[in-house]
Amino acid sequence: SSYHKVLEENRILYNQVQDLKGTIRVYCRVRPFLQGQPNGQSTVDYIGENGNIMIVNPLKHGKDARKVFSFNKVFGPTISQEQVYVDTQPLVRSILDGYNVCIFAYGQTGSGKTYTMSGPDLTTEQTWGVNYRALRDLFQMSKERADVVHYEVGVQMIEIYNEQLNGLNVPDASWVPVSSTQDVLELMKVGQKNRAVGATALNERSSRSHSILTVHVYGKELVSGSILRGCLHLVDLAGSERVDKSEAVGERLKEAQHINKSLSALGDVISALAQKSAHIPYRNSKLTQVLQDSLGGQAKTLMFVHISPEVNAVGETISTLKFAERVASIELGAARSNK
Ligand code: ADP
């Protein structure tokens, strides 16, 4: 019967989620060289099967020139959107059983964060990113379970810019009920318009703000009447590049300071969770405050860290990977990165 099918599915999902050991998983994704740009040398020397990536820094010599970083998984430049999503699917699906999940995209501007989360082109499903694949999956799965659990799905789109929270789809940032990916695409369009800035300005601003698409799920089991609540945060973080303090002035400096503050607050929260600290410093930034309920406790976190292969990005690439190892869990970093 469909009831038993759902129970069995739940059991499998539960095991998959339990298998995602630790509070956080970190996946590294390497962007390909951009079309129309000279390829040159790649700073990615080698990608191992077990989540290792070796970076070569042509500006250094001897043993300092190469460094290995270790993550749960590394996706090379030829890995498709679909392949990237496959490993994320169990986490996404677990929200229908009442889990809270946060998925982050981290990396310098231009490294592929928006490509991973949204995709380059909403009109082609093949290149859809994690956001739309996740929603499509949730709608499909909730339909399959319809005679066992009645689900309602709602989304909320917000942006955090200079420590200020703005609602994008609706002014008060409340959540809007949706029942198909089409509904979500329509909302996205409204959200883009509400930003009320030109395309170039939008691009620049979106690289300096965090944008968060939150999916709320409310389910009622028809037989027992019990209630399930799950929540998925899909977070496209502001560009992590360090801004030269001697050059940035005015607005740009202020933005850079806010970004630094919130990204390091995020790193602090995640590493405090990984170390099981008694005090988790959620209050240090708007971003960690907004995500508080979905970081720690029973919640699961996945971070996609993005790097560009170009030699001129090598400094940012290394600091991105260092940040990522810090959040990946202190143990994993110490035990595996030195070999
Ligand atoms: P970010 O959001 O980090 O600023 P984008 O997602 O806008 O970066 O990516 C920068 C450029 O690289 C875009 O033109 C994007 O289409 C392209 N790109 C990024 N990742 C990939 C990928 N995995 N495959 C093909 N093109 C990519």
Q: Which residues, in sequence order, are CB contacts of 305 under 8 Å at separation 6+? A: 26, 27, 28, 29, 71, 106, 107, 320, 321, 323, 324
What pLDDT is stored for residue 330 in this prediction? 45
How many angstroms separate the CA atoms of 241 and 105, rounded?
14
The answer to whether residues 159 and 166 touch, using CB atoms and an 8 Å cutoff, is: yes
CB 51 near ligand 1, within 6 Å: no
Q: Which residues of the chain have pLDDT under 70?
A: 1-3, 6-7, 10-23, 168-173, 191-203, 245-247, 329-339
List pLDDT tens digits, range 272-285: 887 788 999 999 99
CB 113 near ligand 1, within 6 Å: yes
CA dihedral 140, 146, 147, 150 (to 10 degrees): 160
The answer to whether residues 90 and 96 touch, using CB atoms and an 8 Å cutoff, is: no
List pLDDT tens digits, range 120-173: 888 888 999 999 999 999 999 999 999 999 999 999 988 899 999 887 666 566
Distance 320 CA to ligand 1 centre (A): 16
Distance 322 CA to ligand 1 centre (A): 21
CB 210 near ligand 1, within 6 Å: no
Please give the domain boundaries of the chain with CATH numbers for all domains: 2-336 (3.40.850.10)
